Amino acid sequence: MQSDAIAIFGAGVMGRSITALALGHGVDVVLIDVSEEILQNARADIAQQMRHGQFMGAFPESRAAGTLTTTLSAADAVDASVVIEAITEDAQLKARVMAEISAIVPAGIPLITNTSGIPVAELAKSVQRPAALAGVHFMNPAYLIKMVEVIRGPQTGDEAMTAILSFLERLGKKTVVVRDAPGFVTSRLLHPMINEAARVVGEGTASVESVDQLMQGCLGHPTGPLRTADLIGIDNLVDALRLLAERTGNSTFEPCELLLEKVRQGHHGRKTGRGFYDYGEVLS
C-alpha cells in the first residue's frame, strides 16, 4: 500500500539537505544508503540542519516535522509516493541506481533525479518507465534556497510533471521548468564561472578572498563563486565540469589545475573542513 512518505536514495550532502527540507515541511522520509556509518552520520547532520532551518524560519510553524527512517534496503522505497535519487554526480553510477529504483517502484510513482547536469534523456535509458522520470536540481542548502530548476526530459509525461510540481509546491519551492540539455541552465552558467574564478586565483591575479569580495560587491553574487564551490563540494564540481566538457564537446569547461589540485589534496570544501576556505569541521 502506497504511503505518503518519500524515499531518497543517497545520504550524502544533497541527500541530507533534501531530507531536512522534506522533514521540515511535514513529509516523512525513508533515506537509503549502502553504509550504516553514513546513515548514522547523516541522522546527526540532518538533525543539525533541521535546527538551523527552524532558526532561519525556513519551515512552516503550523506543520509538525516529518519522521525520518534510515535503511540499507532499497526495497523499503516500494511504498513511497515520490522517489528521489540524490547520489554522487557520476553518470554510470546514477544509471545503475536508477535502474534498481525503477525495478522496485510501481507504475505511477514519479521518479526524480537530483542532478546538476546529467541529461535526463541519458538516465531515462536505464529506467523501465521513462515517462515517470524528471530532473530536479536542488541547490544546497535545499531547505534555504527557495527555487529549484526542474528539467523535463523528452520522454517525461504530463502526469509525472504534474505530480512532481505539486510535490515541490508542498515543499515550499518556486519552480522553473527547462528543457533537457547538458548542464541545463544553472550549472551551464555557474560551474564555468567558478572554474574561471579558480583559474584567476591559480594564475596569481587575485586572492580567493578578493575574487569573492569583487563578485559579491560589484556583481551581486550572494556568497562569491569560490565559497560556493566549497558548499557544492570541489570534487563534485570537478566531476560536473568534466561531464559538461564531455557532453557539450567544449574543452573550455574542463576543470582548471587549481580545482584538480584541491581534489588531489582531499580539500573538497565544507564537507572535509577545508577547500578554498578553512572550516575547522568535517561533515562525514
Can you tell me the distance from the alpha carbon of 47 to that of 191, in angstroms, rounded to the nearest whole number? 30
> Which residue segment(s) compose the domain that 36 sits in?
6-179
- Which CATH number covers residue 200? 1.10.1040.10
113 lies in a domain? yes
Question: Looking at 141, 157, 179, which one is the last position of a domain?
Answer: 179
282 lies in a domain? no
Question: Which of 159, 157, 5 lies closest to 84, judged by CA?
Answer: 5
Tens-place pLDDT, residues 202-252: 999 999 999 999 999 999 999 999 999 999 999 999 999 999 999 999 999
As to burial, measured by CB atoms within 10 angstroms (0-12 exposed, 13-18 middle, 19+ buried), residue 76 is middle
User: Is the confidence at residue 282, as pLDDT, over 80?
Assistant: no
User: Is the confidence at residue 283, as pLDDT, over 90?
Assistant: no
Q: Percent of the chain beyond pLDDT 90?
A: 94
Q: Strands 133-137 and 147-152, how do they pair?
A: antiparallel
Q: Are residues 162 and 26 in the same domain?
A: yes
40 lies in a domain? yes
Q: Are residues 10 and 45 in the same domain?
A: yes
Across all residues in the chain, what is the average pLDDT?
A: 95
pLDDT at 119: 96
19 lies in a domain? yes
Q: Are residues 142 and 190 in the same domain?
A: no
Can you tell me the distance from the alpha carbon of 52 to that of 66, in angstroms, rounded to the nearest whole number? 16
Q: Are residues 168 and 222 in the same domain?
A: no
Q: Are residues 170 and 204 in the same domain?
A: no
Question: Which of 181, 180, 178, 221 lies closest to 197, judged by CA?
Answer: 221
Residue 70 backbone dihedrals phi, psi, to 5 degrees: -110, 145
Question: Looking at 121, 153, 179, which one is the last position of a domain?
Answer: 179
Helix, strand, coil distribution of the chain in percent, nearest 5: 50, 15, 40
pLDDT at 205: 98
pLDDT at 233: 93
pLDDT at 2: 58
Residue at 240: amino acid letter: A
pLDDT at 280: 84
Can you tell me the distance from the alpha carbon of 220 to that of 246, in angstroms, rounded to the nearest whole number? 30
Mapped onto helix, strand or coil, the DSSP state of residue 125 is coil
Tens-place pLDDT, residues 18-61: 999 999 999 999 999 999 999 999 999 999 999 999 999 999 99
* Residue corresponding to grid cell 545503475: 96
Q: Are residues 160 and 202 in the same domain?
A: no
Tens-place pLDDT, residues 74-106: 999 999 999 999 998 899 999 999 999 999 999
279 lies in a domain? no
Average confidence (pLDDT) over 182-208:
97
Question: Looking at 157, 179, 201, which one is the last position of a domain?
Answer: 179
pLDDT at 1: 47
Tens-place pLDDT, residues 149-174: 999 999 999 999 999 999 999 999 99
Q: Are residues 151 and 200 in the same domain?
A: no
What is the pTM for the complete model shown? 0.90
256 lies in a domain? yes
Q: Are residues 75 and 155 in the same domain?
A: yes
